[in-house]
């Protein structure tokens, strides 16, 4: 929706009403994935009039099977993305994680963990081999993170290392491919 045509709501805490009437709101749908990775007990601490009820209404619309036919109208243009740059996995940061959003992109058959390794333009072959090995080790570490099976469920998980020598891409290799139940 064009942000300049949206009306500013006051006291509207129903996500479906807000979207259907074209009212202005701060899109927090990107936090749904974060919540899915959290523990079972959540506690929302925010000041009064800070959007807690609206956020919970959004979650209800997102997970309510009765809203399945309205999903694209409610969430189609919001902050959903397959790519998570710099996602923390197993106490390290994977450069790119591409996972299908389960409800919106249910038919996407692939997911990816991508590690980028950089060396200086004058790096020796031994340095390049060491950087590549480091990329393999990091991908193996990211793969065992407890959130990966949930995020990659029902896809083929590809693990890939990109190796750069200066600005030149000198090696790109898929190091593993695994069907995720």
pTM (whole model) above 0.75: no
Contact 178, 148 (CB under 8 A): no
| pLDDT at residue number 82 | 46
Residues comprising the chain, all counted: 181
Q: H or E segment at 111?
A: strand 110-119
Task: Quote the pLDDT of residue 86.
Answer: 63
Q: Which token pair is 110?
A: 């692939």
Q: What's the pLDDT band for 125 if we cut at 50, 70, 90?
A: very high
Q: Which two tokens stand for residue 181?
A: 């139940």
**24-71 pLDDT, tens per residue?**
777 777 777 777 767 667 777 777 767 788 888 888 888 888 888 888
Per-residue confidence (pLDDT) for residue 2, from 0 to 100: 45
- Which domains occur in the chain, in start order? 3-75 (no CATH), 83-179 (3.30.70)
Q: Name residue, tokens 């009039």.
A: 49
């Amino acid at each position: 929706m064009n942000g300049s045509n949206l009306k500013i709501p006051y006291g509207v805490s129903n996500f479906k009403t807000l979207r259907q009437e074209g009212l202005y709101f701060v899109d927090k749908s990107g936090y749904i994935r974060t919540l899915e990775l959290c523990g079972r007990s959540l506690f929302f601490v925010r000041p009064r009039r800070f959007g807690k009820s609206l956020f919970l209404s959004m979650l209800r619309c997102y997970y309510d099977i009765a809203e399945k036919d309205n999903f694209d109208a409610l969430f189609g243009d919001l902050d959903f993305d397959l790519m998570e740059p710099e996602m923390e996995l197993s106490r390290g940061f994977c450069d790119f994680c591409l996972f299908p959003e389960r409800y919106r992109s249910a038919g996407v058959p692939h997911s990816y963990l991508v590690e980028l390794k950089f060396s200086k333009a004058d790096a020796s072959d031994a340095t390049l081999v060491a950087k590549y090995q480091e990329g393999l080790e990091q991908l193996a570490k990211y793969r065992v993170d407890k959130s990966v099976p949930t995020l990659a469920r029902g896809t083929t998980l590809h693990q890939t290392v990109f190796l750069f020598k200066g600005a030149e891409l000198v090696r790109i290799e898929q190091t593993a491919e695994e069907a995720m139940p």
